[in-house]
């Protein structure tokens, strides 16, 4: 079984980090610095966590393709989570977790998102919706992580 | 792990929310409690200052044993070796007096945790995540 995680998170200083890991190996990552004073405290995060019964190589392009191929169900999952937040959920604790429907056989996934204080459901809902809208572009533009030379 | 680590306040909040009305605090139960948190937030990263602050809050041998069980489930990102650059960064944070006078004093743990996070390109999960969601 292989675990693949896409994460997208915003810091208090407005910086945003987006990346993909395979079994804890970081293979894709983009960090956009904020313009305020450096503050690494998280404001919110969104994870798309997947497991697949087949082995997936921790290779940047393989992993990118994996997530791009799942754009349909993941996009629907993100929009559904956005809608839940917009409508107001019964549960009132973070994080919220939503299974991703209509995944291929042998692949499972969930959307997990959480926010710190001062972030409203409406704000995070908009972030989820936007991520769904730009999913393919976001994945395509994520730089490969280059391992440092020993 | 996604690039985020738990700070001390976060873990203290989680530790306190252990459902003592239905479960007894035992080492196994606390290990399981920690694994639940790790599964929820998708990371098991902490740093040495968090370890120290958590242990420093214990008041008896039983509590220490439970903390050891709980904290043993996490990975210490710095491997208990803080480079000089982390100390320098923590010193800078400690000496930074914000222009906003309402901001509280800086604490040793916070300065170190933020500096470790920066060094390892991580973000900090801070505060009590049982915090209730804000309506729209």
Contact list in B for residue A116 (CB cut-off 8 A) is: 126-127, 131
CA distance A104 to chain B (A): 23
Contact A116, A9 (CB under 8 A): no
pLDDT of B17 > 60? The answer is yes
Edge-first strand order for the sheet with A107-115 is: A25-32, A16-22, A2-11, A42-52, A107-115, A96-99
Contacts of A86-93 spanning 24+ positions with Cβ under 8 A: A86/A121, A86/A122, A86/A125, A86/B136, A88/A121, A88/B135, A88/B136, A89/A121, A89/B133, A92/B132, A92/B133, A93/B130, A93/B131, A93/B132, A93/B133
pLDDT in tens, B27-61: 999 999 999 999 999 999 999 999 999 999 999 99
Mean pLDDT of B115-127: 92
pLDDT-based confidence at residue B134 (cuts at 50, 70, 90): very low
Nearest C-alpha in B relative to A10: B123
Reported pTM? 0.89
| Chain A CB contacts of B42 below 8 Å | 5, 7, 47, 49, 112
Please give the pLDDT value at position B111.
92
Per CB-CB distance under 8 Å, the chain B contacts of A17 are 3, 121, 123
CA angle (A97, A99, A102) in 5-degree steps: 160
User: Is residue A115 left, alpha or beta, with left meaning phi > 0 and alpha meaning psi from -120 to 50?
Assistant: beta
Q: Which residues pair with B71 in a beta bridge?
A: none
Question: Does B106 contact chain A (CB < 8 Å)?
Answer: no
- Residue B133, Cα to own-chain centre: how many angstroms? 21
Which residues are CB-neighbours of B102 under 8 A, at least 6 positions away? none
Q: For B68-108, how does the pLDDT look when each residue is reduced to its tens digit (9 = 90+)?
A: 999 999 999 999 999 999 999 999 988 987 676 566 778 89
Alpha-helical (H) ranges within chain B are: 8-16, 27-41, 48-56, 61-71, 84-95, 108-119
- Which residue of A9, A92, A118 is in closest CB contact with B132? A92
Structure token digits, residue B99: 């222009």
Interface test with B, best of A33, A42, A45, A95 (most B CBs within 10 A): A42
- Write down the pLDDT at residue A86: 83
Give me A63's structure tokens. Answer: 């992993």
B41 touches chain A (CB under 8 A): yes
**A80 class by beta-carbon count within 10 Å (0-12 exposed, 13-18 middle, 19+ buried):** middle
Between chains, do B135 and A42 touch, taking CB under 8 Å as contact? no
Give the SS3 label for residue A100: coil
* Of A105 and A36, the one with more pLDDT: A105
Average pLDDT along chain A: 90
Token pair of A130, please?
A: 């936007």
Choose the weakest-confidence range: A70-84, A112-126, B70-84. Answer: A112-126
Does the beta-carbon distance from A42 to B114 stay under 8 Å?
A: no
Note the Cα B74 to chain centre separation in Å. Answer: 10
Question: Is the minimum CB–CB distance between B114 and chain A shorter than 8 Å?
Answer: yes
Query: What is the count of residue pairs from A and B with beta carbons less than 8 Å apart?
Result: 85
Please check whether residue A63 is in contact with residue A23, taking contact to mean a CB–CB distance below 8 angstroms: no
């Amino acid at each position: 079984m292989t675990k693949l995680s896409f994460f997208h998170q915003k810091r208090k200083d407005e910086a945003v980090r987006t990346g993909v890991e395979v079994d804890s190996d970081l293979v894709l990552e983009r960090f956009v610095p904020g313009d305020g004073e450096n503050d690494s405290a998280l404001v919110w995060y969104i994870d798309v966590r997947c497991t697949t019964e087949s082995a997936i190589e921790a290779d940047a392009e393989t992993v990118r393709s994996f997530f791009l191929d799942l754009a349909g169900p993941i996009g629907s999952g993100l929009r559904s989570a956005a809608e839940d937040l917009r409508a107001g959920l019964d549960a009132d604790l973070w994080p919220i977790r939503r299974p991703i429907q209509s995944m291929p056989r042998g692949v499972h996934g969930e959307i997990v998102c959480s926010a710190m204080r001062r972030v409203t459901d409406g704000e995070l809902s908009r972030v989820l919706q936007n991520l769904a809208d730009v999913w393919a572009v976001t994945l395509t533009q994520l730089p490969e992580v280059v391992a440092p030379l020993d | 792990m996604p690039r985020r680590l738990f700070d001390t306040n976060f873990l203290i909040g989680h530790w306190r929310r252990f459902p003592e009305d239905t479960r007894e605090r035992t080492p196994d139960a606390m290990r399981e409690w920690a694994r639940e948190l790790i599964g929820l937030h998708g990371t098991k990263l902490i740093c040495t200052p968090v370890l120290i602050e958590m242990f420093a809050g214990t008041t008896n041998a039983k509590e220490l044993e439970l903390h050891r069980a709980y904290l043993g489930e996490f990975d210490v990102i710095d491997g208990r070796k803080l480079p000089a650059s982390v100390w320098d960064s923590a010193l800078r944070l400690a000496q930074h007096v914000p222009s906003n006078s309402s901001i509280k004093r800086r604490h040793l743990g916070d300065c170190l945790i933020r500096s470790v996070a920066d060094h390892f390109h991580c973000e900090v999960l801070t505060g009590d995540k049982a915090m209730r969601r804000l309506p729209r």
